[in-house]
């Protein structure tokens, strides 16, 4: 229906109804806003430019422990701890100057005198550029602060306990090292006497039948095993307690020293030792010598039944480390047993077939670990083995 066809009286009545609805809505909106403010779950305050409380909701009165009538017109700083008053005034000045929403921490004083740790979220309300009031939301973080302080105290106590345990462990390790070292030193004399006595006995008896000479030979071998075990333990303990320092070490030079050391051992064998061009690394020359010496000695031991023993020192490089492997064509081992290789006395073969103490590879592992390195081995039964150590390009001494 066209607008001009609606009677004027009807249109006027409709407009009057619309005006009445708008007036009712306008009267209701402030009441709704007031209800939302009063019943808001968070403590909410309105402050004037001097920081005096213009209004406060129910949550705010509960937080401060005072009636609304007592709070109105008083400066909020009156209810702050003295240490928080200056920072609160500064927060108000910054919010007023820059018109930003700011956050700060303070300590409120409850009516009973109990301090409350709170977070203040403050912003300055402006209308047409003119300041109207500060809106302040207060969040009680007292429980959080207490829990945080308790955690810090517990952390400090745990740290002190950890330091005490670390010190005690270090003392026990030092005591154990001293005991083992002294024990080995004390063994040297009786073992040497036993060896001398055995030699005198063999010379005094002269040529004897097997039933006499064989037990003496077995005794000699047992004493030699004890001597070898003592020497391995001494080297292991020396590597544990040795003071090391980092400096450039040419592994080619170290390998030449190792080869020179094994010449008497391979004098009557056909042994071919070769090597890739080895890198210069940051490390301790004594530690690196022990590692290569033990690996080469291990390769010589397990290739003794080969007509021609082939030992080759290989090099692989990654972004963070050099991987050095001593490869041989010896007896090899079952990979399912590889985890035992670097354990103390973790032998895979009988000592009657292959001599050894079961300490050499442990010494290698310990030496590498002191510099942040690692060790592992690869092999196949009857097809040889490769014993590896990875040396960091940027090692750090870890005692």
Q: Does 264 reside within a domain? A: yes
317 lies in the same domain as 234: no
CB atoms within 10 A of CB 377: 21
396 lies in the same domain as 253: yes
H helices within 40-81, ranges in order? 58-64, 68-71
* Amino acid 71: pLDDT: 93
220 lies in the same domain as 253: no
Q: How many residues does the chain have?
A: 399
Q: Does 339 reside within a domain? A: yes
Q: Which residue has the higher pLDDT, 284 or 33?
A: 284
Instruction: Tell me which of 140, 174, 201 is where a domain ends.
Output: 140
212 lies in the same domain as 334: no
Per-residue confidence band for 1, with pLDDT thresholds at 50, 70 and 90 = very low
Q: Does 133 reside within a domain? A: yes
**Integer Cα distance of 354 and 92 in angstroms:** 85
Q: Does 190 reside within a domain? A: yes
Which one, of 152, 176, 135, 133, lies nearest residue 42 by Cα?
A: 135
Q: Does 13 reside within a domain? A: no
Domain that holds residue 233: 164-241
332 lies in the same domain as 387: yes
The three-state secondary structure class of 109 is strand
Q: Is it the case that residue 40 has pLDDT exceeding 60?
A: yes
Long-range contacts of range 119-125, CB-CB < 8 Å, 24 or more positions apart? 120/88, 120/91, 122/91, 122/92, 122/95, 123/95, 124/95, 124/96, 124/99
Which range, of 215-224, 225-234, 367-376, averages the lowest pLDDT?
Answer: 225-234
Which tens digit of pLDDT belongs to each residue from 286-302?
A: 889 989 998 998 899 88
272 lies in the same domain as 385: yes
Per-residue confidence band for 226, with pLDDT thresholds at 50, 70 and 90 = confident
258 lies in the same domain as 399: yes
Per-residue confidence band for 54, with pLDDT thresholds at 50, 70 and 90 = very high
Q: Does 251 reside within a domain? A: yes
Instruction: Tell me which of 241, 256, 273 is where a domain ends.
Output: 241
Q: Per the structure, how many domains does the chain have?
A: 3
Mean pLDDT value across residues 257-277: 91
At 367, list the tokens.
Answer: 């030496």
Instruction: Tell me which of 189, 218, 241 is where a domain ends.
Output: 241
Which tens digit of pLDDT belongs to each residue from 71-121?
A: 999 999 999 999 999 899 888 888 888 777 889 999 999 988 889 999 999
Q: Does 20 reside within a domain? A: no
Q: Which residue has the higher pLDDT, 28 or 137?
A: 137
Per-residue confidence band for 253, with pLDDT thresholds at 50, 70 and 90 = very high
Which tens digit of pLDDT belongs to each residue from 128-150?
A: 878 888 999 999 999 998 898 89
- State the CATH number of the domain containing residue 348: 3.30.565.10
* Amino acid 392: pLDDT: 94
- State the CATH number of the domain containing residue 45: 3.30.450.20
**Integer Cα distance of 109 and 345 in angstroms:** 69
Q: Does 312 reside within a domain? A: yes
Q: First vs last Cα of the chain: how many Å apart?
A: 98
Which tens digit of pLDDT belongs to each residue from 309-325?
A: 999 999 999 999 999 99
Which tens digit of pLDDT belongs to each residue from 153-201?
A: 999 999 999 988 888 887 777 667 667 666 667 777 787 888 788 788 8
Q: Which residue has the higher pLDDT, 215 or 60?
A: 60
H helices within the chain, ranges in order? 8-39, 58-64, 68-71, 82-98, 142-205, 210-241, 251-262, 285-301, 360-369
Q: Is it the case that residue 266 has pLDDT exceeding 60?
A: yes
Q: Which residue, chain included where needed, has tokens 């330091």?
A: 163
Which tens digit of pLDDT belongs to each residue from 326-358?
A: 999 998 888 877 777 776 555 555 555 445 556
248 lies in the same domain as 387: yes
231 lies in the same domain as 252: no
Q: What is the mean pLDDT of the chain?
A: 82
* Amino acid 220: pLDDT: 76
Mean pLDDT value across residues 212-236: 74
225 lies in the same domain as 168: yes
For the whole prediction, is pTM greater than 0.75? no
Mean pLDDT value across residues 275-293: 93
200 lies in the same domain as 305: no
171 lies in the same domain as 50: no
User: Phi, psi at residue 133, to the nearest 5°?
Assistant: -170, 165
């Amino acid at each position: 229906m066209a607008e001009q066809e609606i009677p004027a009286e009807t249109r006027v009545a409709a407009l009057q109804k619309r005006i009445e609805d708008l007036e009712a809505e306008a009267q209701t909106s402030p009441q709704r806003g007031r209800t939302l403010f009063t019943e808001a779950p968070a403590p909410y305050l309105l402050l004037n430019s001097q920081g005096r409380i213009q209004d406060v909701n129910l949550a705010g009165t509960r937080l401060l422990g005072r009636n609304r009538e007592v709070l109105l017109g008083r400066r909020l700083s009156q209810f702050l701890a003295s240490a928080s008053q200056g920072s609160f005034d500064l927060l108000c000045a910054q919010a007023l100057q820059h018109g930003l929403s700011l956050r700060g921490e303070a300590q409120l004083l409850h009516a009973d005198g109990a301090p409350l740790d709170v977070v203040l979220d403050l912003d300055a309300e402006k209308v047409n550029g003119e300041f109207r009031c500060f809106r302040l939301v207060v969040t009680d973080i007292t429980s959080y602060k207490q829990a945080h302080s308790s955690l810090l105290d517990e952390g400090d106590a745990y740290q002190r306990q950890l330091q005490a345990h670390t010190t005690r462990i270090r003392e026990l390790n030092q005591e154990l090292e001293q005991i083992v070292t002294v024990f080995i030193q004390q063994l040297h004399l009786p073992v040497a006497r036993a060896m001398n006595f055995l030699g005198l006995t063999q010379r005094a008896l002269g040529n004897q039948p097997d039933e006499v000479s064989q037990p003496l030979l077995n005794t000699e071998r047992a004493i030699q095993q004890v001597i070898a075990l003592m020497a391995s333990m001494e080297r292991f303990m020396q590597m544990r307690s040795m003071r090391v320092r980092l400096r450039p070490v040419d592994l080619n030079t170290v390998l030449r020293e190792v080869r020179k050391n094994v010449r008497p051992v391979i004098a009557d064998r056909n042994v071919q030792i070769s090597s890739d061009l080895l890198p210069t690394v940051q490390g301790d020359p004594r530690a690196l010598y022990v590692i290569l010496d033990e690996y080469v000695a291990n390769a010589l031991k397990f290739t003794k039944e080969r007509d021609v023993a082939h030992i080759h020192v290989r090099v692989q490089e990654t972004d963070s480390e050099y991987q050095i492997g001593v490869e041989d064509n010896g007896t090899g081992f079952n990979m399912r047993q590889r985890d035992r290789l670097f354990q103390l006395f973790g032998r895979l073969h009988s000592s009657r077939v292959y001599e050894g103490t079961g300490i050499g590879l442990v010494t290698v592992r310990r030496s590498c670990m002191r510099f942040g390195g690692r060790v592992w081995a690869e092999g196949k039964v009857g097809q040889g083995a490769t014993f590896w150590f990875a040396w960091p390009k940027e090692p750090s001494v870890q005692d």
